[in-house]
Amino acid sequence: MSELRTVVVTGASGDIGVSLVRRCLEQGAAVLAQYRSRPQRLAELTGFDDRLVLVRADLATEQGPGELAAAVPGDWPGVDLLVNCVGGARPVPIEELSAAEFSACMRSNVEAPFAVLRALLGQLADAGGSVVNLSSVAGFTGGAFGPHYAAAKAAVIGLTRSAARELGPRGIRVNCVAPGPVDSEMTDSLSASALQGLLATTALGRVVRPGEIADSILSLSRATATTGQTVVVDGGRYLH
């Protein structure tokens, strides 16, 4: 699918989500943007009222993914692109990490994208659409946010590969983007020394801009022979 007509973005009020929604709208797509909090960040996207659908839902709950799927406009000919930006975590050292916080991180970063993908399978198949999940280089390197986040983002890569194999015969591609440190509220939660340590081993020596992640997502969504892949966008931190 070279032209994106309909796009669903989860976690749309985050830094990457807002940038992606804006780019999709500017390119003429209709966008359903899911958020749990901070709706004002999406309300700032003015001038697209006829193509932007805002849906408040908590995807970490059992009913949230179904609420999102039910909100897909009935006149859409399917979903061309689903981007799972939902997720995140706060940095916690292993000795301070509770089982409850570990489980909550897995719910928001792994279980929610899985549940949304499952809920939208029919619409994705109708459009011959694709899925892009957001992982992190932490899924490869461990990272500064702690074992809960690294484990969750590694699981997203596994989910992506498995879904790509199973859904390929139905015409659905599933890929993954793994950002490094991004200019975002989440990276801002790191200590200055931790961030400096990350950037010291990054080839470009800087954080990645949200718009650069959005551009990579859209490029991957149009790569019609690519599925099951994880594209690292981290300024040269994880070289492989």
The residues annotated with a catalytic role in the active site are 149
Backbone angles phi, psi at 141, to 5 degrees: -105, -15
Q: Rounded CA gap, 232 and 179, in Å?
A: 6
- Do the beta carbons of residue 134 and residue 88 sit within 8 Å? no
- Do the beta carbons of residue 164 and residue 227 sit within 8 Å? yes
Specify the residue for token string 């780019």: 23
Q: Which sign, positive or negative, has the C-alpha torsion 142, 19, 9, 61? A: positive
Angle (CA) 81 87 91, round 5°:
150
Cβ neighbour number for residue 3 with a 10 Å cutoff: 9
- Do the beta carbons of residue 16 and residue 42 sit within 8 Å? no
- Do the beta carbons of residue 162 and residue 227 sit within 8 Å? no
Q: Residue 132 has which token pair? A: 């892009």
Residue among 22, 158, 133, 124 at smallest CA distance from 83: 133
Q: Which residues lie across from 134 on neighbouring strands?
A: 177
- Do the beta carbons of residue 232 and residue 200 sit within 8 Å? no
